[in-house]
């Protein structure tokens, strides 16, 4: 698998997040807001403490992907009323389209299954190319929420 920005053969290594990863995760989330939802940056900044609380409350479900000891992606899922919900998944721009997102989605599905969850879900913007990643992983669009994000679901056994 080619995962390095220069075409190297380094494969991603998944590991549990460390507290020292939180600044990089914060920058990744802020980068997403700035790219996809710049009109919401102020509101997102105002809710930074709420976001941090979600990361801390679900810290055992926060996974990072590293290439040559560099954090290049992460995912976080939570228990939302008995359903495993993917809260965020991010891959650094230089490492996209190299299979890291798929590795993170697969880890989310496997961890949720191992934790006993049968229903998995996520929300994604309709214009986000990550939709294809989720669809390849067996998620199907089932509607939209009040904010216009598409809701995707799948069973853990798929």
Q: How many domains is the chain built from?
A: 1
Domain-located, residue 102: yes
Domain-located, residue 48: yes
Domain-located, residue 28: yes
- Domain residues for the domain of 107 are 13-155
Element spanning 116, H or E: none
**Is the pTM above the cut of 0.75?**
yes
Domain-located, residue 8: no
Contact criterion met (CB below 8 Å) for 32 and 25: no
Rg of the chain over Cα atoms, rounded to whole angstroms, equals: 15
Domain-located, residue 75: yes
Distance CA 137, CA 56 (A): 27
CATH of the domain at 56: 3.40.630.30
Cα 52 to the center of its chain, rounded Å: 15
Residues 6+ apart with CB under 8 A from 107: 14, 63, 75
Domain-located, residue 17: yes
Q: What is the pLDDT along the chain (158 residues), one digit of tens a residue?
A: 333 444 455 789 999 999 999 999 999 999 988 988 889 899 888 888 888 889 999 999 999 999 999 999 999 999 999 999 999 999 999 999 999 999 999 999 999 999 999 999 999 999 899 999 999 999 999 999 878 899 999 998 75
Domain-located, residue 1: no
Domain-located, residue 25: yes
């Amino acid at each position: 698998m080619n995962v390095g920005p220069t075409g190297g053969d380094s494969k991603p290594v998944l590991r549990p997040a460390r507290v020292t990863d939180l600044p990089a995760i914060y920058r990744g989330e802020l980068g997403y807001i700035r790219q996809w939802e710049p009109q919401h940056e102020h509101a997102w900044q105002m809710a930074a403490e709420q976001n941090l609380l979600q990361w801390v409350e679900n810290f055992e479900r926060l996974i990072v992907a590293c290439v040559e000891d560099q954090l290049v992606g992460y995912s976080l899922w939570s228990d939302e009323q008995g359903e495993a919900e993917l809260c965020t998944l991010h891959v650094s721009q230089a490492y996209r389209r190299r299979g890291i997102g798929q590795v993170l989605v697969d880890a989310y599905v496997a961890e949720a299954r191992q934790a006993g969850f049968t229903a998995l879900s996520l929300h994604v913007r309709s214009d986000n190319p990550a939709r294809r990643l989720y669809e390849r992983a067996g998620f199907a669009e089932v509607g939209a929420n009040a904010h216009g994000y598409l809701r995707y679901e799948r069973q853990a056994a798929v």
